[in-house]
Chain A
C-alpha cells in the first residue's frame, strides 16, 4: 500500500530502493534460515543476516528516518517506503529486531545525546545485536512485578536477577533491561538500563528450547554484574514509563522505526495454492466447499488487516485514535495463527511430517508455522492482555487488573 500522497523525493527513493534491492539481493544463505529473527540459532545464520542488515543500512534502507548524527538517513517517512520495498523484494529479514523496533526508538526518545550517539548507530546497522530483558519467572503479564535488583554503588549499579524468554540473548551485545531500584514502590521503583551482555562478567546466557525444537530465546542470569550509571536510560524510578515506550513500539502501536521486511507477501494466496496442489479423496482440495469457505474467510481477514492499516491513516474514519493501532498486534498474530492452522488442515496427513522428512510439503512449513505462531500470540504482551488494553483504553470498560 502506498504511503499518503508521495512527494517527488519519496517517489525517487522508492525507485532507488527497488533498484538497489534488485541489484543487491543477497546470495543464498550458507545454511537454512529460520522463519523469523526469533529462532536464529547458529553463528553461520547470524553472520549472514548481520552482513545483510549492514548492507541495507549502508544503502540507506534502514534507519532512513533517524538523524544522520545517530547513523540514520535524516529523512521523513522514508522508512515505510523502504519496508514495503523490502517486503516486495522477498529478501531476508533484519536480524536486529529488538535493536531496530525497540531499543533504538526508546533511546531516541529517552536517551542522553551521548547515549544516542553511542547506541543507535550499532542498532541500525546490526553491528550490535540487542535483546530485551523485561520478563522474569515471576513477572510475565504482570510485568511490574520485577525482582531483578539494581543497587547503586558509586558510579555503578550492581545487578542480581533472573530474566527469561530473552530472544537473541545468545548473540546480544546489549540488553534493554528493567530492574528494581526500590522495593517500596511497585511501579516507581523500576529503572531502565542499557546493559552489557556478551562477555560481561556476572552475566550468564543459557538457551531455552521452544516447542518447535528450535532455540532462539534464553534465560539470562545476573550475578553481581556491574553496570555503569552512564548506561541508565532516563531517571531513576522512571523505568515503567520508559518500558511503556518500548512496548508501544514493540506492539506496533507506533510506526515501527526500522525495517523488518523480507517475509513472503501474501499468505492467503499461498493457502489457495496449497489447496490447488492438494488431492483429497481423489478430489482437489480447492473444490471442497468447506475448504473454499475457510479460504475465503482467510482472504477477507487479510484484506481487512490491510484496509484497516489504510483506514488508520484517515482520522475522519476512526472513532478513537488508538482503536485501530492497538488491534494490530492482536490481529496480525491471530491471522498468522489461523492461516497456518488452515494450512495444516488442508495439507491433511502430510502435515504430520517434520521439516526434515523428504516428503514434507513446503519443507514442513504449515505445521511449523502453526506452532511458531503461539510465540506471537504470547510474546509482546499476550493477546489476552491486549484485549484488556483494548477494552479498557478504547471502550472504556472497568480495569480487570
Chain B
C-alpha cells in the first residue's frame, strides 16, 4: 500500500552506515557487555526501587560516545555534527537497544531531530552544543499520556515583552542527565518551541520513580520561568514537531528492535543449553515455535523500521505512515518476545539475578513511549481509511 515511493531499494544502507553500525556493535560489546550492565544498573533493587535513587549510568561511556561523534549523529556537518542518514542512525540505535545502554544519547538524538526540523538560528546554536556533548532532553508531553505532540500542559504568556512559562511537562525522558531542555508551550493559539537550561529559576525537575533501570524520567514543573528571546526556537512548534515526529518514532522503534533481538538471542541460547527430560529445551515445539514467531515479528518490525527511516531520508510523503507502522510493529514485537523471554527461562527468568528483567523493563517502557501499537494503528486508520478514501 505504501511501498511505492522515492526511497532507494536498498534503503540507502551503504558502506558508511554498515561501518558505523559495526563500530557501534564492537564498541558497546566491549564497553557495556551485559554483565557490566547488570552490575551498573541492577546490583540490587534497593537503591532505585526502595530508596528512589536515579538509575545509574556510566558517564565515561558517554564521554567516549561524544568523542566518537555520536552526540552529533543527527546534526548537520556545518553545525558541527556528523550528518548521518536516518537509516544509519536507526542501525546505530538498534545496537544501543541491543545493549540497553543507559545514556543521554537517545534524548540528544530526539532533541536534534526536533531542532533540525526548525530552521532557525537558535536551533542551529543548540544543535552545535548537542554535537559537542551537551546533553538535552525533550519536554513536550502532556499529562494525559497522549503522545501526539500538538498539545502541551504548559502555558506561555507574554507580559510587557517578557515571556514566561507556567505548567508541567510530563514523562520527560532522561531528564536527569540533561543540561538543557527543548520545551513546548501554548502561546495564544500556537505552540511555542524554546530551550531552557536545566537550572533555570522557577523550573523544578522531579524524578519519576520508574521500573526501567536503564533510563530516567521526570516531571518538569514550570513556575514563572523566564524565557529569553535568544531561547525561542519558533512559535510554529506544532509544524516543527509534526515534521520531526516520524524520526522520533524511528528512534523508539530502533531501540525496541535492538532490545527485542537481544531478548530473542538470549532466550535461544538458554533453550540450547538448558536440558530437561534429557533434551535441550529448544527440542520442544512449545519452546521452539514461539521463538520462531518472535523472530518473525522482530523481522517484520525491522523491515518496517528501515523502510520508515529510508522514507525520512528520501523526504517521502510516506514517512508518517511508514513510521507509525514501524512503531506499532516494534511495540508489539517487543511485547511478545518480552513475554516469552521471561516464561521460557522458567524460574530463573523470574529472578532479579537474571539479565532478562533488565531488557523486559526497557522494552516495556519503550513499547508505550511516543505511543503504543494501538495508538499508532488508530492514527494510521485515520490516514488510510478516512483520508485516503
CB within 8 Å of B: which residues of A?
Answer: 1-5, 266, 268-269, 272, 275-276, 286, 289, 292-293, 295-297, 299-308, 310-311, 313-314, 316-317, 319, 323-324, 327, 330-331, 384, 387-388, 390-392, 394-400
Contact = CB atoms under 8 A, between A and B. Distances in A.
Chain A, interface SS category: helix
B235 interface: no
Given A1-B9, A295-B381, A331-B296, A304 B283 contact: no
A257 B307 CA distance: 27
B289 A391 contact: yes
Contact of A292 (B284, B285, B295, B377): B377
A83 to B, nearest CB: 16
Interface in B266-287: 268, 271-272, 279-280, 282-285, 287
Nearest to B377: A296
B9 A5 contact: yes
A310 B1 contact: no
B272 A398 contact: yes
Interface stretch (B183-191, B297-305, B355-363): B297-305
Contacts of B9: 1-5, 310, 313
B377 A397 contact: no
Contacts of B325: 299-300, 303-304
A398 B282 CA distance: 5
B3 to A, nearest CB: 5
A391 B303 contact: no
A310 B280 CA distance: 35
A303 B2 contact: yes
Nearest to A319: B261
B268 A395 contact: yes
Given A330-B296, A391-B288, A268 B1 contact: yes
Contacts of B389: 272, 276, 286
A396 B289 contact: no
B70 interface: no
A66 B213 CA distance: 58
B273 to A, nearest CB: 10
B381 A303 contact: no
A275 B295 contact: no
A310 B307 CA distance: 9
Interface string B178-202: 0000000000000000000000000
A282 to B, nearest CB: 18
A195 B282 CA distance: 40
8 contacts: A289-B378, A300-B329, A314-B10, A387-B288, A397-B288, A398-B282, A399-B283, A400-B283
Q: Which 8 A-B pairs have the closest CB atoms?
A: A397-B282, A304-B300, A307-B303, A296-B377, A391-B288, A398-B283, A308-B303, A292-B381
Contacts, number: 153
B384 interface: yes
Given A305-B300, A391-B292, 15 more contacts: A3-B9, A286-B385, A286-B389, A293-B374, A296-B384, A300-B328, A300-B329, A307-B307, A310-B307, A311-B302, A311-B306, A314-B10, A398-B279, A399-B283, A400-B284
B109 interface: no
Contacts of A397: 268, 271-272, 280, 282-283, 287-288, 291
A62 to B, nearest CB: 24
Contacts of A311: 11, 299, 302-303, 306
Chain B, interface SS category: helix
Considering residues B91, B271, B285, B303, which has the most beta carbons from chain A within 10 angstroms of its beta carbon? B303
Considering residues A266, A324, A390, which has the most beta carbons from chain B within 10 angstroms of its beta carbon? A390
Contacts of B268: 395-397
Contacts of B285: 384, 387-388, 400
Contacts of B293: 387
Nearest to A266: B1
B119 interface: no
Contacts of B17: 316
Interface string B297-319: 00111111011000000000000
A387 B289 contact: yes
B67 interface: no
A359 B294 CA distance: 41
Nearest to B322: A303
Nearest to B10: A314
B299 A316 contact: no
Given A297-B377, A397-B282, A317 B13 contact: yes
A286 B328 CA distance: 20
Contacts of A297: 377
Contacts of A324: 299
A314 B1 CA distance: 21
Given A4-B10, A272-B384, A317-B306, A300 B291 contact: no
Interface in B1-44: 1-3, 9-11, 13, 17-18, 21
Contact of A299 (B91, B282, B374, B380): B380
B5 to A, nearest CB: 10
Nearest to A300: B325
A277 to B, nearest CB: 11
Given A292-B378, A387-B292, A303 B1 contact: yes
Nearest to B279: A398
B158 to A, nearest CB: 41
B304 A394 contact: no
B304 A295 contact: no
B374 A317 contact: no
Contacts of A399: 283
A88 B21 CA distance: 37
Nearest to A5: B9
Contacts of B291: 391, 395, 397
Interface in B45-82: none
B11 A303 contact: no
A303 B295 contact: no
Contacts of B283: 397-400
A327 B299 contact: yes
A303 B18 CA distance: 24
